[in-house]
Amino acid sequence: MRRELGRDIPLEDVRQAIARNYASTLNLELIPGQYTADELQAISKTEAEKYLSDEWIYQTSTVEDKFGGAKFKTPVGLLDIRVAMAGETLKAVYIGGDFFAEESAVAEMEGALRWHASQPEKVSATLAKVYQRREKDFNGLPLETIQETTLKAIANAVLVGTLENANPYDPAAS
């Protein structure tokens, strides 16, 4: 955080920012409190049995990453969206192009889609939610175009992943 902000920041400020964003993103109220003795015991047990095991620490994913992209020329400039997926989950979304938009609005939209379900209705709803808050910062870049181009990038990633995993020697795969 210090590197990104270019200044020192108290740990408590970071904790509060994380808590605020969880509450906002998940649309819930966080209530401060202490762990009970039973909760602390369960945490210790889970840590020892799972998270400190070599199997957990050195695990590898059997799910191959998929990558896709899509471009669309809008009245306000080129929109270039690229996605990285793990299975059916969006790992990361990059929104670029030569349009003018507030950098923080684009970053917020990208962040909202990080580790997000790839179902079209969920992606479209999340994009709409961010766009509604930051519409003026997108300077005329249409929401529908962002949604359609993102969904096309996802579809391209799925298609490329399917083609990469196809066995050219399996007659059933043709």
Residue 172 has pLDDT above 60, yes or no: no
Residue 160 has pLDDT above 80, yes or no: no
75 phi/psi in degrees, rounded to 5:
-60, -20
Q: How far is residue 41 from each of residues 34, 37, 44, measured CA to CA in Å?
A: 13, 6, 5
pLDDT at 164: 58
Q: What is the mean pLDDT of residues 109-127?
A: 95
Contact 76, 139 (CB under 8 A): yes
Q: What is the mean pLDDT of residues 141-160?
A: 94
The three-point CA angle 151-26-46 to 5° equals: 105
Which one, of 160, 169, 4, lies nearest residue 82 by Cα? 160
More confident residue, 91 or 1: 91
Residue 166 has pLDDT above 60, yes or no: no
- What's the CA gap between 97 and 115, in Å, rounded? 22
Q: In what order do the strands lie in the sheet with 65-74?
A: 65-74, 77-86, 89-97, 116-117
Contact 70, 154 (CB under 8 A): no
Give the model's confidence band at 170: pLDDT under 50 very low, under 70 low, under 90 confident, else very high.
low
Which one, of 148, 154, 159, lies nearest residue 69 by Cα? 154
Residue 27 has pLDDT above 80, yes or no: yes
Interval 76-106: pLDDT, tens: 999 999 999 998 999 999 999 999 999 999 9
- What's the CA gap between 137 and 135, in Å, rounded? 5
Residue with tokens 């994009």: 127
